[in-house]
Structure 1
Amino acid sequence: MLTILYRGPLASCDYDCGYCPFAKRRDTPAQLRADRAALERFVSWAETRPFELSVLFTPWGEGLARSWYRDALVRLSLLPHVGRVAIQTNLSHRTSWVEAADTSRLALWTTYHPDQVPYDRFLAKSLDLTSRGVRHSVGVVGFPAHLEAARRLRADLPPATYLWVNAAEGLTYTDAEAADWTELDPLFPYSRHPHASAGAACRTGEDVISVDGEGTVRRCHFVPTVLGNLYDGSYRAALGPRPCPKPSCDCHIGYLHLRTLPLYDVFAGGLLERIPHLLA
């Protein structure tokens, strides 16, 4: 199975998180049309593949606020050769659209931003997804100011809903602070420190690839070397095992694929939506 991390040109978001360069950014109508056309091209390509696929959408902006991302998730979920289709989302939009999808293949990777959305609103949407049988994880960024909100969320979510915690970029955690977050997410230690990756074996570029709106294929979002293009098939000849060229990897969608870490076993059955095996 080929796993694709798709990131089109969409860069607009309805939230205003202080650490994010895309906060409250608005794409122009022309940019939105280009993003929609690029996504339509990708979905049409996926629909005609003779091999198995899994797809994770990782937009810079908020994809589910746009109808074409919701439509893409539904269309891909209905394809028998798509094992899983998922998207990273702040869950700001309505959830009723999932009724049209095959929830055995659809999944959401959701993030709770305590300073951007009323607590009850976010919780209600997560619980609604659960009631509809939609697989999803819920997460927070580990800022000290978010700890109590995260504790409240963990207490109110069903035990089967995984709550993940991302270490905040540039923040160093004391052992006591890390212990607080690990109490909420036992897997937080994987996020606490960057992982040494230079020369390490990694699945990216072999059976995991990154694709942009033009169809340009790279091994992952963090290595700029081009392997070819999705639509002319030139990427296929470049697929194969290769060591990581970066000194370290500090993002979950990157280090998840390192063969030096056990995360394919930890997240077996829930790799794209970030759900551990025991809950998947």
Structure 2
Amino acid sequence: MRHLTILYRGPLASCDYDCPYCPFAKRRDTPEQLRADRTALERFTEWVAAQDHPVSVLFTPWGEGLVRSWYRRALVRLSHLPHVERAAIQTNLSHRTSWTADADLDTLALWTTYHPGQVEHERFAAKCRDLAARGVRFSVGVVGQPEHLDAARRLRADLPEGVYLWVNAAEGRTYTDAEAAGWQALDPLFSYSRRPHPSRGLPCRTGDTVVSVDGDGTVRRCHFVPAVLGNLYDGSFREALRPRGCPLAECDCHIGYVHLEATGLYDVFRGGLLERIPHGAP
């Protein structure tokens, strides 16, 4: 089988941050819910370990995964599997970073997000410096809220040289050219996030070489298309994999439109697709 990229999102929804602009539905997970998430993640990790074809994994939890030991263990294990090309996760970086010493840093990567108002600037910047000193591959991002522009500029000035700073357009916000220019100066690729991408009928790699998987093993083409392709654990999804156009009118999330062929972003992020690092960045 060809290389398969999996976006995994289990039942975890608890987060140690409470960002007012976050579109995710947050809750305080009960001990039973946490145990269910741990069991689901361990089952998924075992499935990946048993494969005989190349796999890359991006964890996209509703909540913060790396404050949970089972996510750290899963990433370490996956990073050492010879057929896993990338093991990455989206994180607010509130966790300790010493666990990365146990991982294969040629495979591990972090997609980190800075949330002003939830963490002190120096605390976050120090974590970034620590990751860089350890040789961990990571990107840093911010949401393009107008009140966060100065904080983002300060962070850019304090980040280690070569660390890519990306900017996500704020949910539902329309930017004037003048407003967009400030964010574009920080992230030359902000134009891709500024407006939704028309997608209906256009070729997309999701459902072919990229899939979304939930804690029960239900496979969908991506997080944004509800139609089910099959199940990971009984293998029924495999016969449904094929090139196909997008059924939605538009796509406005990076983890979706990066796979649209029309965007050309596979070339832009070649070698750093899941951790959101453009080709050529250190």
The verdict on a shared fold, with TM-score over 0.5 as the criterion, is yes
Superposed CA offset, 1:42-92 (max 9, x none): 001111100010000000000001000000000000100000000000000
Amino acid in the other structure paired with 1:272:
L
In 2: Cα distance, 1:10 partner to 1:242 partner:
30
What is the one-letter code of the residue matched to 2:213?
Answer: V
Distance 1:171 1:22, change over 3 A: closer
Q: Which of 59, 62, 66 is the equivalent residue of 2:61? A: 59
Distance 2:206 2:51 in 1: 20
Partner of 2:120: 118
Partner of 2:102: 100
Per the alignment, in what secondary structure is the counterpart of residue 226 of structure 2? strand
Query: 2:200·2:250 contact (CA, 8 Å) conserved in 1?
Result: yes
Q: Could you tell me how far 1:238 is from its partner in structure 2?
A: 0.2
Tell me the CA shift for residue 19 of structure 1.
Answer: 1.9
Q: Is the 8 A contact 2:26 2:62 kept in 1?
A: no
Runs (5+) with no aligned partner, structure 2: none
- Calculate percent identity across the aligned residue pairs: 74
* 1: CA distance, partners of 2:255 / 2:190: 14
Residue of structure 1 in register with 2:261 after alignment: 259
Code of the residue aligned with 1:247 in structure 2: it is A
Do the aligned residues in 2 keep the contact of 1:13 with 1:23 (CA within 8 Å)? no
- 1:49 and 1:265 mapped to 2: Cα distance? 27
Q: Deviation per CA, 1:219-262, whole angstroms, max 9, x where unpaired? A: 00000000000000000000000110000000000000001111
Paired residue for 1:85?
A: 87
Q: 1:167 aligns with which of 166, 169, 184?
A: 169
Partner amino acid for 2:58?
A: L
What pairs with 1:68-217 in structure 2 (closer than 5 Å)? 68-217=70-219
Structure 1 residue ranges (4+ consecutive) displaced by more than 4 angstroms after TM superposition: 21-24
Per-residue deviation at 1:171? 1.0
2:270 paired residue among 268, 271, 279: 268
Q: d(CA) in 2 for partners of 1:276 and 1:20?
A: 25
CA distance in 2, matches of 1:206, 1:21: 27
One-letter code aligned to 1:77: S
Please say if residues 15 and 23 of structure 1, whose CA atoms lie closer than 8 Å, have aligned partners that are also in contact: no
TM-score relative to the length of structure 2: 0.98
Map 1:19-58 → 2, pairs under 5 A: 19-20=21-22, 22=24, 25-58=27-60
| Count of aligned pairs | 280
Q: Give the aligned residue type for 1:235.
A: F
- For residue 16 of structure 1, report the CA deviation from its aligned partner: 1.0
Q: Partners in 2 of 1:81 and 1:154 — Cα distance?
A: 35
1:160 alignment partner AA? G
What is the DSSP-based 3-state SS (H/G/I as helix, E as strand, rest coil) of the residue aligned with 2:171?
coil
The residue number in structure 1 matching 2:11 is 9
SS at match of 2:228: strand
Deviation of 1:27 after TM superposition, in Å, equals: 0.3
Q: CA deviation at 1:278?
A: 1.7
- Unpaired runs of at least 5, structure 1: none
